[in-house]
Structure 1
Amino acid sequence: MNLLDMVPDPAGAPETPVCSRKGCRSDAVWRLLWNNPKIHTPERRKTWLACDEHRAWLEDYLRQRLLWRETLPLTEAAR
């Protein structure tokens, strides 16, 4: 067995970003920007992607933990 056979092929990566919600494979249409103030500098932003169905759930998850900063549409320019 070759270990390189276990490395995902970047050419096989999805062309359309998918939702970050566990188990969801729907196309993402939103960017949820967040950071953890305990470990990130204030200007640092991490991104979760969300479909319309899971946007509110993911946003609520981040808000409850005081991590949410901003939600923006996922545009072609951001892809």
Structure 2
Amino acid sequence: MSVPLVCSAKGCRAPAAWAHLWNNPTLHTADRRKVWLACADHRASLGEFLSVRGFLVDTVPSDQIPADAG
């Protein structure tokens, strides 16, 4: 049995359909990928938050999260 993926937005408990892959270059090596999950309603706002800081690397469907991300 797999654990359901839930949106990372504060207070949201909706199922996650998307995964924002990101890293903070001042803290992480270039190949490290952290993951924020997003429902359809929060995909844009979470992605923009990461993007304006220069952290967003990629956005993929939640069923395509790379095995080495996390």
Q: Tell me the TM-score normalised to structure 2 length.
A: 0.85
Corresponding residue SS for 2:12: coil
Greater C-alpha Rg? 1
2:45 aligned to 29, 43, 57, which one?
57
- Which of the pair has the greater relative contact order for Cα pairs under 8 Å at 6+ separation? 2
Matches within 5 A, 1:1-79: 15-75=3-63, 78=65
TM-score in terms of structure 1 length: 0.76
Structure whose residues are more often helix by fraction: 1
How far does the alpha carbon of each residue in 1:14-37 deviate from its partner, in whole angstroms, 9 at most, with x for none? Answer: 931100000000000101000000
Superposition misfits of 4+ residues, deviation over 4 angstroms? none
Identity of aligned residues (%): 48
The runs of 5 or more residues in structure 1 that have no matched partner are 1-13
The two structures, once aligned, show a CA RMSD in angstroms of: 1.5
Q: Deviations over 1:36-57 (max 9, x none)?
A: 0001000000000000000000
Instruction: Say how many residue pairs are matched.
Output: 64
